[in-house]
Structure 1
Amino acid sequence: MLGIPQLLSEFDHEMANTRKVLERLPEGKLSWKAHPKSNSIGWVGTHVANIPRWLVLTLQQESLDLAPPGGEPYQEVPRDSVGAILELFDQNVAAARSALAAAQEEALHQPWTLLRGGTVIFSMPRWMVIRLFVMNHLIHHRAHLCVYLRLNNIAVPGLYGPSADDAT
Protein backbone atom coordinates (compact mmCIF):
# COMPACT_ATOMS: atom_id res chain seq x y z
CA MET A 1 0.00 0.00 0.00
CA LEU A 2 1.18 3.46 -0.78
CA GLY A 3 1.36 5.99 2.00
CA ILE A 4 0.46 9.67 1.89
CA PRO A 5 3.97 10.88 0.90
CA GLN A 6 4.01 8.54 -2.09
CA LEU A 7 0.47 9.46 -3.11
CA LEU A 8 1.34 13.18 -2.87
CA SER A 9 4.39 12.71 -5.07
CA GLU A 10 2.37 10.84 -7.71
CA PHE A 11 -0.45 13.38 -7.43
CA ASP A 12 1.88 16.34 -7.98
CA HIS A 13 3.51 14.70 -11.00
CA GLU A 14 0.21 13.75 -12.65
CA MET A 15 -1.45 17.09 -11.97
CA ALA A 16 1.47 18.97 -13.56
CA ASN A 17 1.22 16.73 -16.64
CA THR A 18 -2.54 17.16 -16.75
CA ARG A 19 -2.30 20.94 -16.64
CA LYS A 20 0.04 20.84 -19.66
CA VAL A 21 -2.67 19.04 -21.63
CA LEU A 22 -5.50 21.33 -20.46
CA GLU A 23 -3.46 24.41 -21.42
CA ARG A 24 -3.53 23.21 -25.04
CA LEU A 25 -7.30 22.93 -25.35
CA PRO A 26 -8.40 24.94 -28.39
CA GLU A 27 -10.24 28.10 -27.37
CA GLY A 28 -13.26 28.49 -29.63
CA LYS A 29 -13.44 24.75 -30.37
CA LEU A 30 -14.65 23.44 -27.02
CA SER A 31 -17.79 22.06 -28.68
CA TRP A 32 -15.74 19.97 -31.13
CA LYS A 33 -16.51 16.23 -31.10
CA ALA A 34 -14.57 13.38 -32.69
CA HIS A 35 -17.85 11.55 -33.37
CA PRO A 36 -21.56 12.31 -32.77
CA LYS A 37 -21.58 9.80 -29.89
CA SER A 38 -18.46 11.34 -28.32
CA ASN A 39 -18.35 14.00 -25.64
CA SER A 40 -17.02 17.37 -26.73
CA ILE A 41 -13.45 18.38 -26.04
CA GLY A 42 -14.80 21.01 -23.63
CA TRP A 43 -16.86 18.43 -21.74
CA VAL A 44 -13.86 16.11 -21.39
CA GLY A 45 -11.69 19.05 -20.30
CA THR A 46 -14.24 20.03 -17.65
CA HIS A 47 -14.49 16.41 -16.51
CA VAL A 48 -10.70 16.20 -16.15
CA ALA A 49 -10.71 19.50 -14.22
CA ASN A 50 -13.29 18.08 -11.80
CA ILE A 51 -11.69 14.69 -11.13
CA PRO A 52 -9.22 16.02 -8.50
CA ARG A 53 -12.26 17.13 -6.47
CA TRP A 54 -13.21 13.47 -6.15
CA LEU A 55 -10.12 12.99 -3.99
CA VAL A 56 -11.61 15.48 -1.51
CA LEU A 57 -14.95 13.62 -1.59
CA THR A 58 -13.11 10.34 -1.04
CA LEU A 59 -11.37 11.62 2.07
CA GLN A 60 -14.21 13.69 3.55
CA GLN A 61 -17.21 11.41 2.92
CA GLU A 62 -17.86 7.70 3.38
CA SER A 63 -19.65 7.43 0.06
CA LEU A 64 -21.02 9.25 -2.96
CA ASP A 65 -24.34 8.46 -4.61
CA LEU A 66 -24.30 9.80 -8.17
CA ALA A 67 -28.11 9.73 -8.34
CA PRO A 68 -29.43 9.57 -4.77
CA PRO A 69 -33.05 8.44 -4.48
CA GLY A 70 -35.13 11.58 -3.97
CA GLY A 71 -32.09 13.84 -4.33
CA GLU A 72 -30.24 15.80 -6.95
CA PRO A 73 -27.89 13.76 -9.18
CA TYR A 74 -24.18 14.57 -9.33
CA GLN A 75 -23.56 16.98 -12.20
CA GLU A 76 -20.57 18.78 -13.63
CA VAL A 77 -21.26 22.33 -14.76
CA PRO A 78 -19.70 22.81 -18.21
CA ARG A 79 -17.12 25.58 -18.55
CA ASP A 80 -17.19 27.80 -21.62
CA SER A 81 -13.53 28.77 -21.92
CA VAL A 82 -10.11 27.25 -21.51
CA GLY A 83 -9.39 29.82 -18.79
CA ALA A 84 -12.46 28.70 -16.83
CA ILE A 85 -11.44 25.03 -17.17
CA LEU A 86 -7.91 25.83 -15.95
CA GLU A 87 -9.27 27.87 -13.03
CA LEU A 88 -11.55 24.99 -12.01
CA PHE A 89 -8.68 22.52 -12.32
CA ASP A 90 -6.32 24.67 -10.23
CA GLN A 91 -8.95 25.11 -7.49
CA ASN A 92 -9.70 21.39 -7.39
CA VAL A 93 -6.02 20.42 -7.40
CA ALA A 94 -5.28 22.79 -4.50
CA ALA A 95 -8.21 21.45 -2.47
CA ALA A 96 -7.30 17.83 -3.24
CA ARG A 97 -3.63 18.28 -2.37
CA SER A 98 -4.56 20.00 0.88
CA ALA A 99 -7.00 17.23 1.81
CA LEU A 100 -4.48 14.51 1.03
CA ALA A 101 -1.66 16.27 2.91
CA ALA A 102 -3.91 16.61 5.98
CA ALA A 103 -5.19 13.02 5.87
CA GLN A 104 -4.25 10.40 8.42
CA GLU A 105 -2.70 7.16 7.16
CA GLU A 106 -5.39 5.17 9.01
CA ALA A 107 -8.10 6.93 7.00
CA LEU A 108 -6.64 5.51 3.78
CA HIS A 109 -7.57 2.00 4.95
CA GLN A 110 -11.22 2.89 5.62
CA PRO A 111 -13.78 1.83 3.00
CA TRP A 112 -15.35 4.25 0.56
CA THR A 113 -18.38 3.45 -1.58
CA LEU A 114 -19.68 4.74 -4.91
CA LEU A 115 -23.40 4.28 -5.51
CA ARG A 116 -25.96 5.15 -8.16
CA GLY A 117 -29.57 5.28 -7.05
CA GLY A 118 -28.69 3.55 -3.79
CA THR A 119 -27.07 0.61 -5.62
CA VAL A 120 -23.40 -0.01 -4.83
CA ILE A 121 -21.12 0.32 -7.86
CA PHE A 122 -18.00 -0.43 -5.82
CA SER A 123 -16.64 -0.26 -2.29
CA MET A 124 -12.91 -0.35 -1.53
CA PRO A 125 -10.29 1.20 0.77
CA ARG A 126 -9.78 4.91 0.21
CA TRP A 127 -6.18 4.48 -0.95
CA MET A 128 -7.45 2.26 -3.78
CA VAL A 129 -10.15 4.77 -4.65
CA ILE A 130 -7.49 7.49 -4.90
CA ARG A 131 -5.33 5.35 -7.18
CA LEU A 132 -8.07 3.81 -9.35
CA PHE A 133 -11.10 6.10 -9.34
CA VAL A 134 -9.20 9.39 -9.12
CA MET A 135 -5.68 9.03 -10.55
CA ASN A 136 -6.17 6.32 -13.17
CA HIS A 137 -9.50 7.78 -14.23
CA LEU A 138 -7.89 11.20 -14.69
CA ILE A 139 -5.00 9.70 -16.69
CA HIS A 140 -7.49 7.85 -18.91
CA HIS A 141 -9.37 11.04 -19.78
CA ARG A 142 -6.13 13.02 -20.14
CA ALA A 143 -5.15 10.52 -22.85
CA HIS A 144 -8.61 11.01 -24.35
CA LEU A 145 -7.81 14.74 -24.58
CA CYS A 146 -4.43 14.02 -26.17
CA VAL A 147 -6.20 12.12 -28.96
CA TYR A 148 -8.55 15.08 -29.41
CA LEU A 149 -5.56 17.43 -29.59
CA ARG A 150 -3.92 15.25 -32.24
CA LEU A 151 -7.14 15.09 -34.28
CA ASN A 152 -7.22 18.90 -34.24
CA ASN A 153 -3.56 19.23 -35.29
CA ILE A 154 -2.59 20.67 -31.90
CA ALA A 155 0.82 19.68 -30.57
CA VAL A 156 0.57 17.06 -27.82
CA PRO A 157 2.83 17.82 -24.86
CA GLY A 158 5.35 15.30 -23.63
CA LEU A 159 4.15 13.71 -20.40
CA TYR A 160 6.58 10.90 -19.55
CA GLY A 161 9.27 12.06 -21.95
CA PRO A 162 9.15 13.91 -25.26
CA SER A 163 6.10 13.54 -27.50
CA ALA A 164 6.32 13.17 -31.27
CA ASP A 165 5.61 16.90 -31.43
CA ASP A 166 8.53 17.72 -29.13
CA ALA A 167 10.89 15.94 -31.53
CA THR A 168 9.93 18.10 -34.51
Structure 2
Amino acid sequence: MSVIDIPLPEYDCEVGTTRALITTAPDSDLGWRPESGARTLGQLVTHLAEIPVWTAIVMTSYRYDLEALAEPSPEHGATETLLRFDTHAAAGRDARAGRLDGELTADWMLERHGVLSSPSRAFPHFAYWF
Protein backbone atom coordinates (compact mmCIF):
# COMPACT_ATOMS: atom_id res chain seq x y z
CA MET A 1 0.00 0.00 0.00
CA SER A 2 1.36 3.41 -0.89
CA VAL A 3 1.42 6.31 1.54
CA ILE A 4 -1.22 8.19 -0.47
CA ASP A 5 -3.71 5.36 0.06
CA ILE A 6 -3.43 5.41 3.86
CA PRO A 7 -5.60 8.53 4.45
CA LEU A 8 -8.26 7.59 1.84
CA PRO A 9 -10.51 5.89 4.43
CA GLU A 10 -10.33 9.07 6.54
CA TYR A 11 -11.21 11.13 3.45
CA ASP A 12 -14.19 8.85 2.81
CA CYS A 13 -15.30 9.25 6.43
CA GLU A 14 -15.04 13.06 6.23
CA VAL A 15 -17.00 13.03 2.98
CA GLY A 16 -19.73 10.91 4.57
CA THR A 17 -19.94 13.15 7.63
CA THR A 18 -20.05 16.33 5.55
CA ARG A 19 -22.68 14.87 3.24
CA ALA A 20 -24.83 13.95 6.24
CA LEU A 21 -24.50 17.50 7.57
CA ILE A 22 -25.53 18.99 4.22
CA THR A 23 -28.67 16.84 4.17
CA THR A 24 -29.84 18.34 7.47
CA ALA A 25 -30.46 21.76 5.88
CA PRO A 26 -34.00 21.87 4.48
CA ASP A 27 -34.72 24.02 1.43
CA SER A 28 -37.25 26.02 3.44
CA ASP A 29 -34.53 27.27 5.83
CA LEU A 30 -31.69 28.07 3.41
CA GLY A 31 -32.36 31.81 3.66
CA TRP A 32 -32.02 31.83 7.46
CA ARG A 33 -29.07 33.62 9.06
CA PRO A 34 -28.30 33.98 12.77
CA GLU A 35 -27.68 37.73 12.44
CA SER A 36 -27.70 40.33 9.69
CA GLY A 37 -23.96 40.20 9.00
CA ALA A 38 -23.71 36.41 8.88
CA ARG A 39 -23.89 34.10 5.90
CA THR A 40 -27.19 32.40 5.24
CA LEU A 41 -27.59 28.71 5.92
CA GLY A 42 -27.71 28.19 2.15
CA GLN A 43 -24.37 29.97 1.72
CA LEU A 44 -22.81 27.85 4.46
CA VAL A 45 -24.13 24.62 2.96
CA THR A 46 -22.85 25.68 -0.48
CA HIS A 47 -19.45 26.38 1.09
CA LEU A 48 -19.39 22.88 2.61
CA ALA A 49 -20.22 21.41 -0.80
CA GLU A 50 -17.24 23.19 -2.35
CA ILE A 51 -14.58 22.18 0.19
CA PRO A 52 -13.67 18.92 -1.62
CA VAL A 53 -12.73 20.98 -4.69
CA TRP A 54 -9.56 21.90 -2.82
CA THR A 55 -8.38 18.29 -2.74
CA ALA A 56 -8.42 18.13 -6.53
CA ILE A 57 -6.72 21.54 -6.80
CA VAL A 58 -3.93 20.54 -4.41
CA MET A 59 -3.37 17.15 -6.00
CA THR A 60 -3.25 18.44 -9.59
CA SER A 61 -1.23 21.64 -9.21
CA TYR A 62 1.65 23.05 -7.20
CA ARG A 63 0.14 26.41 -6.33
CA TYR A 64 -3.09 28.34 -6.26
CA ASP A 65 -3.62 32.08 -6.14
CA LEU A 66 -6.73 33.05 -4.19
CA GLU A 67 -6.86 36.33 -6.11
CA ALA A 68 -8.14 34.23 -9.02
CA LEU A 69 -10.93 32.86 -6.86
CA ALA A 70 -14.33 33.81 -8.17
CA GLU A 71 -17.12 35.21 -6.07
CA PRO A 72 -18.74 32.66 -3.79
CA SER A 73 -21.08 30.35 -5.63
CA PRO A 74 -24.74 31.19 -5.38
CA GLU A 75 -26.70 28.99 -3.05
CA HIS A 76 -28.74 26.19 -4.53
CA GLY A 77 -31.44 23.85 -3.30
CA ALA A 78 -30.53 20.82 -1.24
CA THR A 79 -30.71 18.37 -4.15
CA GLU A 80 -28.39 20.38 -6.41
CA THR A 81 -26.03 21.13 -3.52
CA LEU A 82 -25.72 17.41 -2.73
CA LEU A 83 -25.09 16.64 -6.39
CA ARG A 84 -22.34 19.28 -6.50
CA PHE A 85 -20.84 17.95 -3.27
CA ASP A 86 -20.84 14.36 -4.53
CA THR A 87 -19.20 15.46 -7.80
CA HIS A 88 -16.51 17.47 -5.99
CA ALA A 89 -15.87 14.71 -3.44
CA ALA A 90 -15.47 12.08 -6.16
CA ALA A 91 -13.11 14.34 -8.12
CA GLY A 92 -11.07 14.94 -4.97
CA ARG A 93 -10.80 11.24 -4.24
CA ASP A 94 -9.88 10.43 -7.83
CA ALA A 95 -7.20 13.14 -7.74
CA ARG A 96 -5.67 11.60 -4.62
CA ALA A 97 -5.84 7.96 -5.65
CA GLY A 98 -3.00 6.80 -7.83
CA ARG A 99 -0.61 9.61 -6.95
CA LEU A 100 3.00 8.75 -6.32
CA ASP A 101 4.25 9.02 -2.75
CA GLY A 102 6.91 11.51 -3.82
CA GLU A 103 4.22 13.91 -5.01
CA LEU A 104 3.03 14.26 -1.42
CA THR A 105 6.29 15.73 -0.24
CA ALA A 106 6.44 18.44 -2.87
CA ASP A 107 5.73 21.91 -1.54
CA TRP A 108 2.39 23.41 -2.43
CA MET A 109 1.67 27.12 -2.25
CA LEU A 110 -1.54 28.94 -1.46
CA GLU A 111 -1.08 32.59 -2.22
CA ARG A 112 -2.95 35.73 -1.33
CA HIS A 113 -1.40 38.74 0.34
CA GLY A 114 1.52 36.53 1.28
CA VAL A 115 2.39 32.89 0.85
CA LEU A 116 1.50 29.77 2.77
CA SER A 117 3.61 26.79 1.82
CA SER A 118 3.32 23.21 2.99
CA PRO A 119 3.89 19.70 1.69
CA SER A 120 0.85 18.77 -0.38
CA ARG A 121 0.04 15.84 1.90
CA ALA A 122 -0.99 18.34 4.61
CA PHE A 123 -3.48 20.36 2.58
CA PRO A 124 -6.39 17.90 2.45
CA HIS A 125 -6.48 18.18 6.25
CA PHE A 126 -5.99 21.94 6.05
CA ALA A 127 -9.03 22.23 3.77
CA TYR A 128 -11.24 20.40 6.26
CA TRP A 129 -10.02 22.05 9.43
CA PHE A 130 -9.84 25.69 8.28
Fold shared per TM-score above 0.5: yes
Secondary structure at the aligned position of 2:29 is classed as: coil
Identity percentage of aligned residues: 26
Q: Tell me, in whole angstroms, the C-alpha distance in 2 between the residues paired with 1:76 and 1:84.
A: 16
The structure that has the greater radius of gyration is 1
- Bigger drift between 23-32 and 90-99 goes to 23-32
1:74 and 2:67 correspond: no
Q: Tell me, in whole angstroms, the C-alpha distance in 2 between the residues paired with 1:106 and 1:45.
A: 34
Aligned to 1:128: 122
Map 1:50-129; keep pairs closer than 5 Å: 50-68=50-68, 73-116=69-112, 119-129=113-123
- Bigger drift between 88-97 and 101-110 goes to 101-110
Deviations 1:24-63 (A, max 9, x none): 1121221110111211111111111111010000011111
Q: Tell me, in whole angstroms, the C-alpha distance in 2 between the residues paired with 1:12 and 1:97.
A: 8
Equivalent pairs counted in the alignment come to 129
Q: What is the CA-CA distance between 1:74 and the residue it aligns to?
A: 3.0
Q: What CA RMSD, in Å, does the superposition of the two structures yield over aligned residues? A: 1.6
Aligned to 2:12: 12
Gaps of 5+ in 1: 138-168
Deviations 1:90-132 (A, max 9, x none): 000110011111211111111111112xx33411110111212
Gaps of 5+ in 2: none
Q: Tell me, in whole angstroms, the C-alpha distance in 2 between the residues paired with 1:79 and 1:87.
A: 13
TM-score (norm 2): 0.91
Query: Is contact 1:113–1:123 with CA below 8 Å preserved after alignment?
Result: yes
Q: Tell me, in whole angstroms, the C-alpha distance in 2 between the residues paired with 1:13 and 1:30.
A: 25
Q: What is the CA-CA distance between 1:64 and the residue it aligns to?
A: 1.0
By percentage of residues, which structure has more helix? 2
Q: Tell me, in whole angstroms, the C-alpha distance in 2 between the residues paired with 1:79 and 1:105.
A: 37
